Amino acid sequence: MIEGLYIHIPFCNTKCPYCDFVSFVNEDKSIIKKYIDTLKKELNLYLEKELNFRLKTIYFGGGTPSLIEPEYIKDLIEFIKNNIKHESSIEITVECNPETYRYQQFKILKDAKVNRISIGNQSFLKKNLQVLGRKHKPEDTIEMIYSAVDSGIDNINLDLIYAIPNQTTDELEFDLKRYTTLPITHISAYMLTAYENTVFGELVQNNRLTLPDEELSSKMFFLIDRFLEHNGFERYELSNWSKKGYQCKHNQGYWNHKEFLGIGVSAWSFIKNKRFGNEKNFQKYIDSLKENKLPISFEETLNDTEFEKEKIFLGLRTSRGIPKNIIKHEEKIVELQKNGYIKVLDDKISLTPRGLMVINQIVKFLID
């Protein structure tokens, strides 16, 4: 049963130096219309396959979905609702960048039954926004939050990036204080990573940029975790904290291994133990659909062992954890528990903050 639908909108105002998402700067408005039509075509091809849908969530991610006219998002939602079985309480999220939508646009989204937005704020300090290559001002985010709330959309996530070059823990604390005084329901906090094929990746490789070391990065993670837990937010996944009842249902679907379909350039899907991804090249994506072919460029089927391993990895990212009996070697659990990396409660294993910092090593240790 497919419960989640992800829609990738690849357009951005500028390319951030740390970003490894498929996105590009587009000046030509006519391309947007063409892209929306292509998304519908892609969906139609899936509908012909008579897949088993019962959508609980729709997620517009990017790129910057809020760069396109909200009417396009409304149009897509109507198209989906008219053609795909879905729950009446469906969660619909739109990612927004602070310098884009305001009240008028949010009102259109609200009419289209969008009930959640996720804002790419990253920091409230100009200095750190500059390092990250972000073009918005701290005030833009505040304006955006209050415009969304005024329009009736009050389930709001704010992204935070930490472990920024030269960032101090005092600066991070300043951000956390600011975040927790705003009317938001959710915070996604990501440690800055210098991915290959990004400007930051190249700079780090050439020793022209240094990221905070492991010790400082971990200290920042613990600070975030403690601060947010003391201020009404609960960590339910490695990078996600929410107020009670406001976990992101869409992302929970990924971590709970639910089936989802992704459409748009570079989007990923997971259906019937098969993971597949779309063309990353915009033109190839468009051309493939012009010929009525699904733009899939990669696919793999997970065997039982791979599926099990992935379940352990995804489960351990969450505070829910995994059933203890999935792990065959009791002595490994005892060792990790003794060293403060995991906790065992009601026959479930979950990672402590210390364990989350080395999740990859722990998963490897447990399944090898």
- Tokens 């996720």 -> residue: 118
Closest approach of ligand SF4 to the CB of residue 305, in Å: 34
Closer residue to ligand SF4, CB minimum distance, 63 or 295:
63
Interface stretch with ligand SF4, choices 56-64, 71-79, 86-94, 309-317 (CB under 6 A) = 56-64
Going by C-alpha positions, the residue among 296, 323, 315, 300 that lies closest to residue 356 is: 315
Interface stretch with ligand SF4, choices 49-57, 59-67, 167-175, 188-196 (CB under 6 A) = 59-67
Task: Give, as ranges, the residues between 10 and 49 that touch ligand SF4 (CB under 6 A).
Answer: 12, 15-16, 19, 21, 23
Considering the rule CB under 6 A, would residue 63 count as an interface residue with ligand SF4?
Answer: yes
**Among 66, 97, 185, 218, which residue sits at the site for ligand SF4 (rule: CB under 6 A)?**
97
Going by C-alpha positions, the residue among 286, 263, 193 that lies closest to residue 7 is: 263
Closer residue to ligand SF4, CB minimum distance, 156 or 363:
156
Task: Give, as ranges, the residues between 70 and 89 that touch ligand SF4 (CB under 6 A).
Answer: none
Going by C-alpha positions, the residue among 337, 341, 338, 335 that lies closest to residue 355 is: 341
Closest approach of ligand SF4 to the CB of residue 25, in Å: 8
Q: Are 89 and 122 in contact (CB under 8 A)?
A: no
| CB-nearest residue to ligand SF4 | 19
- What angle (nearest 5°) sits at the alpha carbon of residue 12, between those of residues 10 and 16? 110
Please, what sign has the CA dihedral across residues 236, 241, 242, 243?
positive
Q: Helix 29-48 and helix 70-83: axis angle, to 10°? A: 10
Considering the rule CB under 6 A, would residue 144 count as an interface residue with ligand SF4?
Answer: no
Going by C-alpha positions, the residue among 119, 95, 359 that lies closest to residue 238 is: 359
Closer residue to ligand SF4, CB minimum distance, 63 or 355:
63
Considering the rule CB under 6 A, would residue 64 count as an interface residue with ligand SF4?
Answer: yes
Going by C-alpha positions, the residue among 26, 31, 1 that lies closest to residue 14 is: 26
Contacts with ligand SF4 by CB under 6 A lie at 12, 15-16, 19, 21, 23, 62-64, 97, 120
